[in-house]
Structure 1
């Protein structure tokens, strides 16, 4: 079944989830500044996910677990920016055709 926790713990899954969120934001929000501000939910959400995961998995914590707060939001944010650009392109493509 669909296990979001396992997906977010991989780089590929984080990129994919971020790209999906960015694509949705890029399609739904027409103004670029508002869209970029809306994309802040991706790294903030990932920080909350890391805090939740580390709180529920204390046996898996290591001395370098604090680095997850710095590098964990990097991959979904990169995916979100790419998805956002793709969503904006798709939105302008549809606007030209319709």
Structure 2
């Protein structure tokens, strides 16, 4: 996956979590799925494509991690802000 795809996928997941969970503690805890998911994805990809492995393939675990996490954090903040604005508008304040 490209960096842009990882950012977008993380942002979509973060937006869903931000819109779906009322508790910030539960929402932040749910975001731990992103780094765990990228480790599982990289491991799966490397096992299914052994012909494409190089000496630097281990770096995929390091450099593949920040981008979906950044997207998820940004998406979560946007989703929480949208949810907060909708609740505030609904209550008329």
**TM-score, normalised to structure 1's length?**
0.89
- Any unmatched runs of 5+ in structure 2? none
1:69 CA displacement: 0.8
Does residue 71 of structure 2 align to residue 87 of structure 1? no
1:47-98 deviation per Cα after TM superposition (whole angstroms, max 9, x unaligned): 1000000001111111111011112121101000000000000000100111
Aligned length: 90
Higher relative CO (Cα under 8 Å, sequence separation at least 6) belongs to: 2
Please tell me the root mean square deviation across aligned C-alpha atoms, in Å.
Answer: 0.6
Distance, in Å, in 1 between the alignment partners of 2:67 and 2:5 is 9
Aligned position for 2:50 = 58
- SS at 1:13's partner residue? helix
Structure of larger gyration radius: 2
Quick one: distance in 2 between partners of 1:96 and 1:26?
16
Q: Equivalents in 2 of 1:90, 1:13: separation in Å?
A: 23
Counterpart Cα distance in 2 of 1:77 and 1:27: 17
List, as ranges, runs of 4+ consecutive aligned residues in structure 1 with deviation greater than 6 Å. none
Q: Corresponding residue for 2:23? A: 31
Which residue in 2 is equivalent to 1:17?
9
Is residue 42 of structure 2 the alignment partner of residue 46 of structure 1? no
Deviation at 1:37, TM superposition (A): 0.6
